Each structure stands twice: as structure tokens, then as C-alpha cells.
Amino acid sequence: MPELPEVEVTRRRIGPLLVGRRICQVRTTRDSYFFLTRPARLRARLTGRRIAALARHGKYLVAELDEGSRLVVHLGMTGQLFSSAATSPRLLSASRRSSISPEAQRDFEADAHTHLQLKFDDGGPGVYFRDVRKFGKVLLLERGESHPRLARLGIDALAATGEALFAATRGRKASIKALLLNQALITGVGNIYADEALFRAGVRPARRAGRVTRRECARIAAAVREVLERSIETGGSSIRDYVAPDGSDGSYQDERRVYARAGEPCLDCGSSIRRITVAQRGTHYCPTCQR
Ligand SMILES: [Zn+2]
């Protein structure tokens, strides 16, 4: 699933393709749970609008439109937001990929999974939102309108501080990992990044959150920002279906120190990395480096 770094990478790469351009045509698939705003209304309201900015709130991308409304996009599990001129063969189905030459794999053609297509009046490449498993979401908010999905998000993980984390964890019986995954508290820390940050901070994932010290909270907050920023620099993780909007693959997974390394030696001390379940999620840690 795309996590905060992948969404931020998407924002930075797709932003220049959206900002300042005027939408002249909108195509959608037919109405479904994918559309929190009915497709007919999306087509009517987006056509003719200029995109003023592209922001991110947690894992939501928010395109601010010239008359104050906002187009909100969530990539879900397999959502891909990319230029219609993207050339990645990974965007094609395996059967099509095997039947056409590499030269023919250029310029992605919208298919049944391409739920939103934006075309622009400058005649340049369009922007497509494609989602094979359809856990993504599209929503249009009118000027001043809010939505519970956005309103209930906690502080953005890239802005998390040790003091905020310390305050949020006092008196909490849940594990520190469960609190890091709690989007109402801190938004944007996914499973991989929680494990990696806790390793770097030297704190065991199952530790009761209320017993994590102020100094440890400072280390965890710094480690969360560090792993997220490092992942953004390297283009985001490339686990499963995620593909960067320009068609390139991310490479963060090569820097994992504990996640999905159960039984392998810790890169710092050589102990065997353990896998347990915390907050219903597969969780990885070093029994020696983490306390
Ligand atoms: Zn270790």
C-alpha cells in the first residue's frame, strides 16, 4: 500500500503536471464506491477549473482549484496517479506485456481501471488515476467544506516532534507501535516505517506506550522523520503494486534493516531479527538493539 513517502513522492512528481493547468475534459468510469462524489458531478465541477496547488494531508492528495473547491484523492492499496505519457510496462497487464514489443509499450492507454482522466486545455499530457483493486477514493469538497476523513487526521508524521509524541503517549496502555499506527494521533506512519523507526530509536515495538520515556519519544520522532525523508529521497517503497507516477520504481525496500528480515542477522549486532504480531500487524525487531 502506498504510504506517506510514496504519496509525497507522487505529489512532488505529479504536482508540476497539474499546477497552473486548466482542465478541459474529465472522463470517469461509472459510479461506484470509488467515487465519494458522484462521477457526473465531478465531470461537471472539474471541467474548466484551473489547479492552483497540490497539497498533501497524511496520505491524501488535495488539489486546490481556482474557485476554492478541492479535489481530494486517496491512492488506497493499488492506486496510481500518473501522466498519460507514462511508459512503465508495469502499468500494463502481464498478458499484454508479453504480447507487445518494448517499443510499443509507450504512452499508456486508459483502460477499465482508469477511473479518472483529466485532460488539459494546453493540449499536453493528461493525468490518469488508475486503481485495479479500487480501494482508492475521489472526493470533491466545495469551498470551506470539510470531510470527516480529513478532519480526523492527527499531526503529519513529517512534522512529528518528540514532545508531541510524549504528550500523546502518556497514560496509554497500547503498545508504542499501535500508537504510531494510529492515524488519529500521527498520520502517515505505515507498518514498514513504524518497524524501521523503532529499530533506529532502539525501542521495542510491543513496549507499553505510556512507559516510553521523553528521551525515547524524541528519538522515535526523529527516527520517524528520518526514515520517511530517506524514503522520499529514494523515491518511496516499491512493495507490490506501487509504481511512481513517472513509471519508475521506488527503491526504499533495499534499505530495510528489520522489516521482512525475520531470521536474518541484525546489520548492527548480528542477532537474529524476530517477527511477532503487534497491533494485528507483522512486526520486526532486534532483541539486542531494541529495549
Ligand atoms: Zn541488533
What are the pLDDT digits (tens) for 245-275?
A: 555 555 555 678 999 999 999 999 999 999 9
| CB 199, CB 289: distance < 8 Å | yes
The protein residues having their C-beta less than 5 angstroms from ligand 1 (an ion) are: 266, 268-269, 271, 286, 288-289
Give the Cα separation of 281 and 288 in Å (integer).
Answer: 21
At residue 239, the pLDDT reads: 42
Does the pLDDT at position 89 exceed 90?
no
- Catalytic positions, please? 2-3, 59, 281
172 CA to centre of ligand 1 in angstroms: 27
At residue 103, the pLDDT reads: 56
> What are the tens digits of pLDDT across the range 146-192?
998 888 888 899 999 999 999 999 999 999 999 999 988 999 898 99
Give the Cα separation of 64 and 87 in Å (integer).
Answer: 27
> What are the tens digits of pLDDT across the range 102-146?
555 556 788 999 999 999 999 999 999 999 999 999 999 999 999
Helices (H), the chain: 4-18, 39-46, 94-99, 148-151, 162-169, 176-181, 191-201, 214-233
251 CA to centre of ligand 1 in angstroms: 23
Does the pLDDT at position 241 exceed 50?
no
Which residue, chain included where needed, has cell 513496549? 207
